[in-house]
């Protein structure tokens, strides 16, 4: 948990004078001697953590592959150029060879190209879904937190209403919530992003609210209040920035679950209705029919999903550990 009172953003420079005064009042600048100490400190510790390095490498490779996939892929992912060379009705598939690095799928499409382009879809879905969850979650959680800390009686009521709604969402299993949303909206890529994103909202909301409540009892808030700083300003420029740490860590972890959930939704047929366009979950669903005869068709997308999710989880977990004040040296 971030305990430093200072914000690491440019906001800090713009409002240097005021924040400095606050920081002085609380005397916490002596903690590390620097305003942005906590993040640099976390980074230093992660540099020596093998878990973090593994996670970071996986994530960097995955993001690079996804971003440059059109350059890396050899062929169009939808082209059935080798359609007359595979015979799914006789279980005759084409394995890896010089022109098709991973072989061909059941319709004679290049598996390597589909896998690479699929990475891009997966990243897109993961990032957008996480952003949806992050933005709406932060909005709701931030509002509830601010109201609870500074809003008095009415504020606590607003907080109560928001949090009960969030609790209701939290009561539903993530995937079930996502499936429900997808079923209501109809299958499409946007649906998957929205569905997975919406399912993540309550986690972000609760987390941010919790962090803000913890900050609300701190002396610098009291000090700001006593100095007559307006309440919405305290919430936005003091409490919120100091509460964002855990939420940012959560985003990394959420990316992992978002990728898995998105794959699951596509697997269930609620994803991109144009199944000829690759997405790892869809590829997995397609390959299911040929599991006993051509397991490789399922292995590639499955490994893709597992390794990517693992990468984001490792990175997120080590970031969380690095930021945890209890584990500080």
Partner 1 sequence: MFTKSSRKPLGLVAAAAALALVASACAESDRDASGMDEDEPFIFAGAGEITSLDPFLTNDGETFRYARQALEPLLDHESGGTEIVGGLAEDWEQSEDGTEWTFHLREGAVFHDGDAVTAEAVCANYDRWYNLAGEFQNANNSYYWQAIFGGFAENESDALPESRYAGCEAVDETTAVIEVTEYSSVLPGGFSLAAFSILSPSTLEAIEDEEITGGDGDFTLPEYTRDASAIAGTGPFTVEDWDQDQNSVTLERFDEYHGEPAGFQTMILRAIPDENARLQALEAGDIHGYDLVAPADIEQLEENDFQVPVRDVFNVLYLAYQQESHEALGDPEVREALSHAVNRQRIVDTIMPEGSEVATQFHPDTLDGWSEDVRTIDHDPDLAREKLEEAGHEDLELEFCFPAEVTRPYMPAPRDIFDVIAEDLQEVGVSVEEVSYEWTEYTAQSENGNCEMYLLGWTGDYNDAYNFIGTWFSTHNDAWGMDNQDLFDDMAEVSSNPDEAERIAGYEDLNEQVMEELPGLPISSSPPSIAFAPEVDPPNVSPLTQELFAEASWQ
Rule CB under 8 A: which residues touch partner 1? Answer: 78-80, 83-84, 86-91, 106-108, 173, 175-176, 179, 183, 186-187, 260-261, 263-264, 266-270, 273-276, 281, 284-285, 287-293, 295, 298, 302, 305-306
Cβ 123 to partner 1 shortest distance, Å: 17
Q: Count Cα neighbours of 233 within 13 Å in the Cβ-side half-sphere.
A: 10
Nearer to partner 1, 72 or 302 (CB): 302
Nearer to partner 1, 295 or 325 (CB): 295
Cα gap 229→223, rounded to integer Å: 9
Residues 6 or more apart whose Cβ sits within 8 Å of residue 154: 147
Cβ 129 to partner 1 shortest distance, Å: 15
Nearer to partner 1, 122 or 243 (CB): 122
Nearer to partner 1, 114 or 209 (CB): 114
Tell me the C-alpha to C-alpha distance, in Å, between residue 35 and each of 22, 41, 102, 143.
13, 11, 50, 26
Cβ 319 to partner 1 shortest distance, Å: 23
Listed in sequence order, the DSSP H helices in 217-295 are: 219-226, 231-233, 240-267, 280-287
Cα gap 195→174, rounded to integer Å: 9
Nearer to partner 1, 110 or 261 (CB): 261
Cβ 80 to partner 1 shortest distance, Å: 5
Residues 6 or more apart whose Cβ sits within 8 Å of residue 39: 8
Residue among 210, 62, 195 nearest 132 (CA): 195
Cβ 284 to partner 1 shortest distance, Å: 5
Cα gap 293→71, rounded to integer Å: 32
Nearer to partner 1, 104 or 208 (CB): 104
Q: Would you give the DSSP letter of residue 278?
A: -
Helix, strand, coil percentages, rounded to 5, for the chain: 75, 0, 25
Cα gap 191→185, rounded to integer Å: 7
Cβ 305 to partner 1 shortest distance, Å: 5
Structure tokens belonging to residue 74: 């050899």
110 forms bridges with which residues in the sheet?
Answer: 104
Nearer to partner 1, 30 or 89 (CB): 89
Nearer to partner 1, 37 or 88 (CB): 88
Cβ 312 to partner 1 shortest distance, Å: 14
Cβ 212 to partner 1 shortest distance, Å: 32
């Amino acid at each position: 948990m971030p305990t430093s009172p200072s914000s690491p953003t440019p906001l800090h420079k713009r409002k240097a004078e005021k924040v400095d005064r606050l920081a002085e009042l609380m005397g916490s600048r002596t903690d590390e001697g620097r305003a942005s100490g906590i993040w640099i400190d976390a980074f230093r510790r992660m540099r020596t953590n093998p878990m973090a390095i593994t996670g970071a490498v996986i994530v960097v490779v995955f993001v690079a592959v996804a971003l440059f996939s059109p350059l890396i892929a050899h062929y169009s992912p939808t082209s059935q150029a080798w359609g007359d060379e595979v015979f799914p009705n006789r279980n005759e598939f084409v394995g890896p060879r010089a022109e098709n690095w991973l072989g061909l799928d059941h319709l004679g499409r290049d598996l390597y190209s589909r896998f690479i382009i699929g990475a891009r879809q997966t990243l897109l879905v993961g990032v957008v879904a996480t952003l949806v969850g992050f933005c709406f979650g932060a909005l709701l959680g931030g509002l509830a937190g601010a109201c609870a800390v500074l809003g008095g009686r009415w504020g606590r009521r607003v907080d109560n209403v928001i949090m009960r709604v969030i609790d209701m969402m939290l009561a539903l299993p993530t995937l079930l919530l996502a499936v429900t949303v997808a079923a209501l909206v109809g299958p499409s890529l946007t649906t998957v992003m929205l569905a997975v994103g919406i399912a993540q909202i309550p986690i972000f909301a609760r987390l941010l609210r919790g962090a803000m409540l913890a900050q609300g009892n701190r002396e610098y808030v009291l000090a700001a209040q006593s100095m007559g700083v307006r309440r919405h300003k305290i919430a936005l420029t003091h409490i919120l920035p100091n509460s964002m740490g855990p939420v940012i860590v959560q985003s990394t972890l959420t990316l992992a679950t978002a990728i898995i959930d998105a794959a699951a939704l596509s697997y269930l047929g609620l994803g991109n209705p144009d199944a000829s366009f690759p997405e790892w979950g869809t590829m997995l669903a397609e390959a299911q029919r040929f599991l006993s005869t051509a397991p490789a068709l399922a292995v590639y997308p499955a490994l893709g999903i597992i390794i990517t999710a693992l990468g984001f989880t490792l990175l997120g977990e080590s970031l969380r550990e690095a930021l945890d004040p209890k584990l500080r040296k």
